[in-house]
Each structure stands twice: as C-alpha cells, then as structure tokens.
Structure 1
C-alpha cells in the first residue's frame, strides 16, 4: 500500500505541474551549446514561454507529454516514496524519539530516488521528447516528430532495442539522487522542526505544505544542473546505432555545456523548474501525507482479531 500511495500522489500532482515541465524543457533546450547572444531567443522567461506556446500551439500545447508524465511519475514515485515510507515506518530513518536522522534520510532517499529513476527512465525519455516538439517557428533542440507516447515507445524499441529505451539513464540517475535526497531530507527535517512550534501543533497539513515548499527550494537549486543535463541527453538526436550525436554521456554533456554556455547555462529554465517543482513537490507530498493518514485511519478502523 505504501508504494501505491506514493505513485497515486505523484500522478495527481503531475496534472498541475506538467505545463511548467513543458516550459522548462523548452527553456533548457534553447540555445543548446551556443553562447548567450549567439542564438535565437523564442522564450524570454517562463511567462513569455507560456504565452508563446499557447499562441503557436494552443492551450493543449502546454500539456504535451501528459500521459507519459502521469505514468512516469506514478512508477518513479511509487518506488521512491513507497520505499522511503517503508523504511521510515519501520524505524530505519529515525532516532528513539522519532526524529529524522539526516544522513540516514539522505542515503535512503537518494537510493530510493535512483531506483525509481531507473524504472521510469523510458517514460522520462519519451516525455521529454514529446514536450520538446514544437511548432516550426518556435522549435528548439532536436525534433523527434513522435505522434504520441505509444508510437514513440514502439519506434525507439524497434530501431534501437531495449537499450534504446534506457538511453540517457546516467543523467536521470544523477538527477534523481541529488533531487530526491534534497527534497525528502529537507521535507522530513523541516516537518520535525515545525512539530515543535505552537503554530503548527495540531495542524499536520499546514506543516506538510510549508515543509514541501522548503524542500522544493533546496531541490530546485541543487538539482537544476543535473535536470538540464538529463533533458539534453534524452532529447539529443542519435545515429544509426542509437548513440547520441551531441553528447557521449553524462561527463561529456557537463563539459560541453560548461564550455559553450558557461556556468549560468546550467541554470537555464530555473524559474520554470521551480514553478514546476514547487507545486508538484508540494502537492505530491501533501497528497502523500493525506493518503498516509487515510491509510492509518483505515487500518485502525479494522477490528483486530483477538
């Protein structure tokens, strides 16, 4: 049940956050491997990007890749949140007073995040490629031309085999390890601290909301460079053997971005990324806490056998 709750919470949150994911992807791909001032600028910022996408592709353009995103978030977070909750519920992450132990939480959330990222990677690949597809006048990055998630899955599998579906795995694993450990650890520690204050005593939903916002800030700042690299690895074109034509792997991608776009190139789309992560993280963790409470109440309501 812990795993189903985690997946359901994340899928529900993705309904609201996916438009910002589309905008973030476009901003991250804009000016790929080009210095500032040496490429066309279709998207000036997250708000302008939203206007441009809606104008050229309609409101539906803001929800590109939604079906793949819903399934992907469900798979990733059923594993990530389910594993973390199981470890926490069995006392592996807390001390004798029930408070979160920092290093144990960080390690557990990183490992759980990596496991979720591995199994969700094919859908993350497809989601990214669908979100990058744009009207010709505002297109950035490689355009794969998929008609939908099922067609994309079959095309990639038929041309490049099972390994083609896991292309770019190194990027999403590093992204997940950093992002998950930052989010879940700061969420748990902030929530522990708020429990000690008079303002939040007896108000668990409010403390969960505040804690998730704090977690979102840390997650965004630490994860954005890895998220950008992951987007680039997933979206790049490939040769006949399925090898990337721009980047050979994680380290090569970091090196080329740093050399061509500079330090701030790693933070392209950070505004859109926070506007995606903040509501997604807040809603996901809020739904997660709410569903966990419902589970506890349901278990307590079941008559116990003597």
Structure 2
C-alpha cells in the first residue's frame, strides 16, 4: 500500500512539473513575442523583398511607418505568432526539461556530461518545437508582407489570419501549412542547442564567479539576452531561407538559389542587425519570466 502511495506521489509530481513548464513557458513566450514582433516584421520584409525596395533597414522602417502605421504595419498578423510563441515556449521548456530528466535517470548508456545533456536536450527541444512553429510562422510571414504585395499587384492577398489560413488550405492543402518545415527543423534543432547552452553556461559562469548558489536578476537577464544573440547569429541564414520558402512557396534548394540570385551571399544576412537588436530584450524577458514563475 505504501509503495502504491509513493508511486502515485511521484506521478503527481511529474505531472505538476510538466504542467508548470507548459504554463510558465507559455506566459514567458507571449511576453517575449510582444517585445520582438515589430522588429521581426522588419526582418521578414528585408529577408523576402529585394534591395530595390528596401536598400537598408532604416528605409524599411520608414516605409512601414509612413504607409501602414504602427498597428497595421509593425504588428500586422501578431495574433498568430502570439499563440505560436505560447505553444513554442511551452514545448521548448517542457521537452528540454523532460529530456534532461530522462538522461539523468537513464541506465542503458554511460553517464552523460552536463554539457552533453544540454546539447542533446536543446536539440531535442528545438526539433519538437519546429513542428508547432512552421504553420504559425508561415501565416505570420505571409501577413507581414501582404500589404507590400497588395501595393504592387492587382491580385490581393488576405491581410487577416483566418482568410490567410483558408487561402493556404485552398491552394496547397493541409500540408501547405507546413511549407518550410525542413528549414524550420534545421533552424530550431541547431538553434535549440545554441539557445539553451548559451543560457545555462552563461548563468553558471556568472554564478561561479561570485561563488554563489543563486543568480541575481541582472545575471538572468544577461544570460537570456546572450542566448538570444547566440541563437539568431547561429541560425540566421537558415531562417532567411525558411522565410523565402514560406512566402514564395518554394523548396529548400530553390529558395537558396533565389536568395543567391537576388542578393548574393550577403542576402542570407539581410535583416541580421535588427534581429540581433530585438533578440537581446525579447529573450532576456522570456528566460527571466520563466525563471521567476518557476521559482514561485
């Protein structure tokens, strides 16, 4: 009887821990997305539109503000990625922590080092999140450039979420929502390693320097900001290809060729500067919010 009670207690703790990861990750993701979204709109426009339209980042910002305003321009289509950010971060933190716990408890392979555990768990978390992210980002990217396309074409593109989804399903079927999955999978698997590894290593380093067991607030913020910079700097060319795949409805190889044809090798890095600017505060917010909620 006591064994049964102990087993039930363990199961309850596991379920509670998983539920906390889902809730805390969702809230953290929403806060981070609100901060980063205007920057992301500019990034996607630079990635998918030629330099004849936007020769510089500043020209893209001025065009968006002048012609579309703040809400319609910078925050066009935010509802979809807001839901996506909640789902993404819930999946990221849940799968990362579950994978790490599995590696701690496994007995069938030699004990893994802390760094190896972070790398495996980060890659696993990123790959899981990619399946949630692809349809969300496809809708987001289409909405972020819809106003530009409508200004230059008589064939109007939908500028709201549901019509965009319906249009995608009509033209390409259900699997059309996962256009660009290969690009997202590669990006998130590699990025997951960079994201979690940078955060964990930076956090431990700062804590070790002070010979303390707990991190201060500024250390969590700095570690989160560093993780965001590392993630985006590592995967940005893949993200560019993914954006082209989703907005042009092309395959991986065709998208790479199109970027090279339009801009050359530098085209893979169009929008990197503004992405790094947004990455620091957004990811600092995500990790700090998650850590704060988890400690309650």
User: Per the shorter chain, which TM-score range?
Assistant: 0.7 to 0.9
2:173 matched to 1:154? no
2:49 corresponds, among 18, 21, 30, to 30
Question: Structure 2-normalised TM-score?
Answer: 0.82
Specify whether residues 190 and 41 from structure 1 end up closer, same or farther in structure 2 by C-alpha distance, changes over 3 A only.
Answer: same
2:74 matched to 1:55? no
**Within 5 Å, which residues of 2 pair with 1:1-306?**
1=19, 2-31=21-50, 40-45=52-57, 47-60=58-71, 61-88=73-100, 92=104, 101-135=114-148, 145-198=157-210, 202-236=214-248, 244=249, 247=250, 249-258=251-260, 260-294=262-296
8 Å CA contact retained: 2:47, 2:270: yes
Q: CA deviation at 1:167?
A: 1.3
Q: CA deviation at 1:253?
A: 2.2
Specify whether residues 258 and 86 from structure 1 end up closer, same or farther in structure 2 by C-alpha distance, changes over 3 A only.
Answer: same
Unaligned 5+ residue runs, structure 2?
Answer: 1-18, 106-111
8 Å CA contact retained: 1:187, 1:214: yes
Q: Distance in 2 between matches of 1:155 and 1:3?
A: 31
8 Å CA contact retained: 1:29, 1:232: yes
Q: CA deviation at 1:20?
A: 0.3
Specify whether residues 139 and 208 from structure 1 end up closer, same or farther in structure 2 by C-alpha distance, changes over 3 A only.
Answer: farther
* 1:114-152, Cα deviation, whole Å (9 max, x unpaired): 111112321110011001123469769xx8711311111
Segments ≥4 residues shifted beyond 3 Å: 86-93, 135-140, 199-204
Tell me the secondary structure at the aligned position of residue 56 of structure 2. coil
8 Å CA contact retained: 1:28, 1:269: yes
After the TM superposition, which of the residue ranges 127-136 and 114-123 deviates more from structure 2? 127-136
Q: CA deviation at 1:169?
A: 0.9
Q: CA deviation at 1:277?
A: 2.0
8 Å CA contact retained: 2:95, 2:128: no
Q: CA deviation at 1:200?
A: 7.2
CA RMSD of aligned residues (A): 2.6
Q: CA deviation at 1:79?
A: 0.7
* 1:168-218, Cα deviation, whole Å (9 max, x unpaired): 111111111122211111111111111112297654322111111221222
* 1:64-96, Cα deviation, whole Å (9 max, x unpaired): 111011011111221112211334466639xxx
Q: CA deviation at 1:161?
A: 1.9
* 1:221-267, Cα deviation, whole Å (9 max, x unpaired): 1111011011101111xxxxxxx3xx3x2233224423553221111
Q: Distance in 1 between matches of 2:221 and 2:152?
A: 36
The aligned residue for residue 9 of structure 2 is: none
Q: CA deviation at 1:268?
A: 0.6
Q: Distance in 2 between matches of 1:205 and 1:86?
A: 25
